[in-house]
Amino acid sequence: MRVLGNLNKKKIAAGVVCILMIAAVLFSAFYISAESGHDCTGDNCPICACICQCEKTLHQMGDGTPVMIAAAIPVILYVLKAFFAACELLQDTPVSEKVRLND
């Protein structure tokens, strides 16, 4: 029972991290689109510094594509294996063949 409690805690932590990452991407993209046409004050513009930080955040989040592909390949293979195993389990029965049983 203790193992299930640890597993649930890990699932909850992973869900919270996922939600935070999605929020960071959405808020960064929203801030860039909202402040893209601001009146820049020069080299020390705080809005430009925030936009630069948001762009860095988006680029760092985007670097996970190879990892996502590597994680998706085993899932796809497992689904294909399950599909073919399910096809083998299906058997032809007299009912599925619509055989009429006459006495």
Using an 8 Å Cβ cutoff, are 29 and 53 in contact? no
- Domain range for 66 is 2-37+45-89
What pTM was computed for the model?
0.50
Residue 103 lies in a domain: no
Residue 6 lies in a domain: yes
Integer Cα distance of 51 and 31 in angstroms: 7
User: pLDDT tens digits for 11-38?
Assistant: 888 888 888 888 888 888 888 888 888 8
Looking at the 3D structure of the chain, how many domains does it have? 1
User: pLDDT tens digits for 58-82?
Assistant: 787 766 667 677 778 888 888 888 8
- AA letter at 92: D
Residue 100 lies in a domain: no
Residue 102 lies in a domain: no
Residue 60 lies in a domain: yes
Residue 99 lies in a domain: no
